[in-house]
Chain A
């Protein structure tokens, strides 16, 4: 159990040395931290938005295969210039490229892959995550907000490991790692890790463990969060 300023890697940590940072990370640095924790050869889905940055930090020799929900394994980087093909986009509808060994398939197969537990890891953004791993990331619940779920619920319950990449606090300072989500849920008890600009957390059956801190301390986090930290 970590009780002082230095959070340490938990036993389930997969790879790499803990990041030591005496300041909060940029979200691009958070992306690098997540990339470090993705094992070689993993099949991975990166959610729309911030998580797509993770791809920039995955060295080619790691052999990570990216899945995109609109029917492709082996997705390459964003397409530029002449390489833009309107028939080849990612889940965010941005033109992308294909890598050698890529495969195309239709939507029912693509989601069978998710739901069937074949993806090793997915990384999603979030409005809130609860200490038990409930995820809220699809709808603010505001009456004027048009609900749009996309593939978020399928990914949340389907991938073997669901990681969240988000800021730990809202712009107004409210924690996003909470005892119970107040936003409409995307999935129940599905998140196993939360990577933020000030700390990385692992959500285990016995509670929330701090894996690393960046420019803060576990005690300081305790004072700002309503969840118990181990």
Chain B
């Protein structure tokens, strides 16, 4: 893995994302959602995308805007249905987007496995439920587990608080969520940050995502949204 590139614009950051790519998109609802990278991806034009994210968009921004632009073939997520997920809801009901629902922890662990070189793993979540149908079940030490496979991304689009020029990252509060896991699980990891600090500006003891996982960094004037009263 070569050293991370610090880029001037979000358009440069998302250059080269191919049609049909699997893109891991960070965020839990609006927190940690890489809004600026998604806007750039909409301008970039890649289509037929498989999006892996916790949710399926809120309001008209971020993932919802990408969905509304008709660029997404399939969504892999844990919780598509929210008070303000009307863009996804309509596309799904019209049969215009495919949905794979994955338990949230299994979603995270499948990406962790991809990043950690694990071929598959036995997971106790979803045993005996519709989400385990068709999957191998194995009894280990008297308990049943479902065989789950890694989810590898061609690209990860994530949002961190701060990067150094090497690509070391720190996050902010619960906006960390899927970022560190997705960074490990994609061939190319693209990060939007609030600021790039000089080398040595991040305490090595406090680095959350080490630079080896990061390919492209862009600093943005980040917009943040809250979803008051959402579920």
Q: How many interface residues does chain A have, given as a range?
A: 35 or more
The answer for the CA separation of A72 and B32 in the assembled complex, in Å, is 14
Task: List, sorted by A's number, 28 A–B pairs whose CB atoms are closer than 8 Å.
Answer: A70-B31, A71-B177, A85-B173, A87-B172, A87-B173, A89-B174, A92-B230, A93-B30, A93-B58, A94-B227, A94-B229, A106-B177, A106-B179, A108-B105, A108-B111, A108-B180, A110-B108, A111-B108, A112-B109, A146-B93, A149-B101, A151-B103, A153-B125, A154-B105, A157-B125, A184-B129, A185-B129, A186-B129
Q: Which of B29, B93, B125 contacts A89 (CB 8 A)?
A: B29
| Tally of chain B residues near chain A (CB < 8 A) | 56
Q: Are B126 and A104 in contact (CB under 8 A)?
A: no
Within 8 A of B (CB), among A89-117: 89, 92-95, 98, 104-108, 110-112, 114-115
Q: Are B31 and A93 in contact (CB under 8 A)?
A: yes
> Lowest 8 A-B CB distances belong to which pairs?
A111-B105, A154-B105, A86-B224, A188-B128, A93-B29, A87-B175, A148-B81, A107-B108
Q: Is A69 an interface residue (CB 8 A)?
A: yes
**B164-177 interface bits toward A, Cβ cutoff 8 Å, 1 = contact, 0 = none:** 00000001111111
Q: Is A139 an interface residue (CB 8 A)?
A: yes
Q: Are A154 and B99 in contact (CB under 8 A)?
A: no
**A-chain residues with CB within 8 Å of residue B175 when the two chains form the complex:** 86-88
Q: Is A196 an interface residue (CB 8 A)?
A: no
Q: Is A150 an interface residue (CB 8 A)?
A: yes
Q: Are A89 and B108 in contact (CB under 8 A)?
A: no
Report the minimal beta-carbon distance from B52 to chain A, rounded to whole angstroms: 12
**B-chain residues with CB within 8 Å of residue A72 when the two chains form the complex:** 173-174
Within 8 A of A (CB), among B92-126: 92-93, 99, 101-109, 111-112, 123-126
Main secondary structure of the interface of A (DSSP, over half): loop
Q: Is A5 an interface residue (CB 8 A)?
A: no
**B-chain residues with CB within 8 Å of residue A92 when the two chains form the complex:** 230-231
The answer for the CA separation of A93 and B57 in the assembled complex, in Å, is 13
Q: Is B149 an interface residue (CB 8 A)?
A: no
Report the minimal beta-carbon distance from A92 to chain B, rounded to whole angstroms: 5
**B-chain residues with CB within 8 Å of residue A110 when the two chains form the complex:** 105, 108
Please give me the residue from chain B that is nearest to A92 by CB atom.
B231
Q: Are A93 and B128 in contact (CB under 8 A)?
A: no
The answer for the CA separation of A157 and B111 in the assembled complex, in Å, is 20
The answer for the CA separation of A179 and B174 in the assembled complex, in Å, is 40
Report the minimal beta-carbon distance from B11 to chain A, rounded to whole angstroms: 25
